[in-house]
Structure 1
């Protein structure tokens, strides 16, 4: 089938199940890769992408075809990851008074984080989160214009964020050395 992603998306939006399946087979791995890089957790990335795929038929009805499907989908993944992170932060705050069980759970999470690779920890430490999101998208191979479109900011902002992320990563590396 020699049909572009955008044509598949528009056909899928119209109810074509074969087009939907073909589109998912083309983009699923990229969506998962981005979700994994944003969350740092395989199981969480799988859940996130599955949730997106379940909601995708409804979302496709809003796809207008004026952007690349991958750009449009990356924006959906970034927004879903942001939402999930906000929910997790809210739950962590609510659970802060649960006694020994919570203390043990947090200690186990800290041990798991310590075993993680340095770059992942450094990426997680990048603040504000927009720096990490920007860097992940650029490392995914997107150019500044595409990243700017996904994150709904200017290309200049993307360049500044990349510069800031590099400075912060360099400082972390020097501190840890």
Structure 2
């Protein structure tokens, strides 16, 4: 039985010019790159473009990986920063929130009640500021701990905890307003 090389080993080999190692690293993490991009940008098409851009830029960024954290934590930060840059280039956030409705398309086989709940959540998430959406994308979407999300976002763990508390309060308030 052959063991798969670690991410760190693949990074070292890729930095030494091993294209196969780089290809394996990208193949191993492409879905993760795409998921984070989609959750932050809110559009499948934009996420596909960003994932390709990140993969194309990755060879030049790999030397910035210092192994102080897991490779995936570093990669999340790269993707989140690339998504932030993309959003800043747009004049408004309207384009970024446009694709949140695509989530229902992916879940159309679920029961109608689940689809309705998902639709409500999507609308509620688009109303959140970008920093809260980024935090939710990593903590809930990628199931990261608050410490891991803090490292990926470049903020303190307390800030991540506060953001998640703020998200819960805002969603609870929105639900109460809609019931009234």
Cα distance 1:158–1:49, how it changes in 2: closer, same or farther (>3 A)?
Answer: same
Q: Which runs of 5+ in 1 are unaligned?
A: 94-105
* Alignment check: 8 A CA contact 2:43 2:99 kept: no
SS at match of 2:64: coil
1:96-120 deviation digits (Å, cap 9, x = unpaired): xxxxxxxxxx9xxx99877972212
Q: Which moved more, 1:115-124 or 1:150-159?
A: 115-124
Aligned pair partner of 1:79 in 78, 81, 89 = 81
What residue number does 2:64 align with? 62
Q: Distance in 1 between matches of 2:34 and 2:121?
A: 19
Shift of 1:65: 2.0
SS at match of 2:55: helix
User: TM-score when scaled to structure 1?
Assistant: 0.82
User: TM-score when scaled to structure 2?
Assistant: 0.80
* Alignment check: 8 A CA contact 1:10 1:65 kept: no
Q: Distance in 2 between matches of 1:113 and 1:66?
A: 34
What residue number does 2:136 align with? 135
RMSD: 2.4
What residue number does 2:45 align with? 43
1:82-102 deviation digits (Å, cap 9, x = unpaired): 11111112xx59xxxxxxxxx
* Alignment check: 8 A CA contact 1:71 1:149 kept: yes
Aligned pair partner of 1:153 in 144, 152, 155 = 155
1:117-170 deviation digits (Å, cap 9, x = unpaired): 22122111112x211111110011100110111111111111111000110111
* Alignment check: 8 A CA contact 1:8 1:23 kept: yes
Q: Which runs of 5+ in 2 are unaligned?
A: 105-118
What residue number does 2:167 align with? 165
What residue number does 1:99 align with? none
Cα distance 1:125–1:14, how it changes in 2: closer, same or farther (>3 A)?
Answer: same
Q: Distance in 2 between matches of 1:22 and 1:114?
A: 32
Q: Distance in 2 between matches of 1:111 and 1:37?
A: 12
Moved over 6 A (4+): 110-116
Q: Distance in 1 between matches of 2:132 and 2:98?
A: 25
